[in-house]
Amino acid sequence: MKTNPSKQKVIDAASVLFFQKGFHGTSVRDIAEKASVNVSLISYYFKGKQGLLEYAVTEYYEAYLNAIDETLASLETNTELDKLKKMIFTIIQYKQQNHQLSCFIHRELSLDSVFVREMAVTYLAKENHYISSTFFNTIKRDKKSEEDRHYMLMQLKGMLITPYILHNEWKNHIIGDYSHAIFVKKYVKTIHEWLDFIVHHQGGKKNNEVSS
């Protein structure tokens, strides 16, 4: 069900301010002014700033995991490498389309907090299952040692989050929707090339890159 316009304005304003000033540095009044709504409306919809944070993060992860699930479900007859590449494209595209909230969430996830532990129990566990199982189905145990496979998985996970942890590295290169789309295309291509190198050096025939 589509979020009503006023509610969405509040979520969008909060995403910008949480990204710029952090959760604790942002007040409910700041959000209300940014969204051009009354403070009472935020209390009505979200019961305060903490409720707004929980709602925004929940909506983010629900849509994110649904996008991954739909991508994998549409590729049941494809090769494992195809599935992994398409999933990576979906992940980076989604995070880039929700860039500021993605950066804020990944920054918060680097801290040990109740927020982090709650996310780990729910959404992060499911995300890890999608990424790990698809990766291990592609990089076979009989071609790489178990230790090597886990190190490679760590590398992949790092590539998937780096643009949103080190976002200052990219801020002068990404302005507007078009440059976001270009970034997705080029960054995903880099990860795909890394995957092709791994697959090629595990003894199998190198697969052609999947077009995004």
How many other C-beta atoms lie within 10 A of the C-beta of residue 187? 19
- What domains can be seen in the chain, in order of their start residue? 1-47 (1.10.10.60), 56-200 (1.10.357)
pLDDT for 135 = 96
Residue with tokens 């760590």: 154
Task: State residue 206's pLDDT score.
Answer: 40
Q: What is the DSSP string of 85-122?
A: HHHHHHHHHHHHHTHHHHHHHHHHHTS-SHHHHHHIII
First to last CA, the chain: 28
Q: Which two tokens stand for residue 119?
A: 């996310």
The per-residue pLDDT for range 112-155, each reduced to its tens digit, is 667 767 776 789 899 999 999 999 999 887 767 889 999 999 99
pLDDT band at 110 (very low <50, low <70, confident <90, very high): confident
Q: What are the tens digits of pLDDT across the range 3-53?
A: 678 888 999 999 999 998 888 899 999 999 999 999 999 999 999 898 999
- Matching residue, tokens 């959404």: 123
Burial 37-48 (b: 16+ CB within 10 A, else e): beeeebeebbee
Longest dimension (CA), the chain: 62
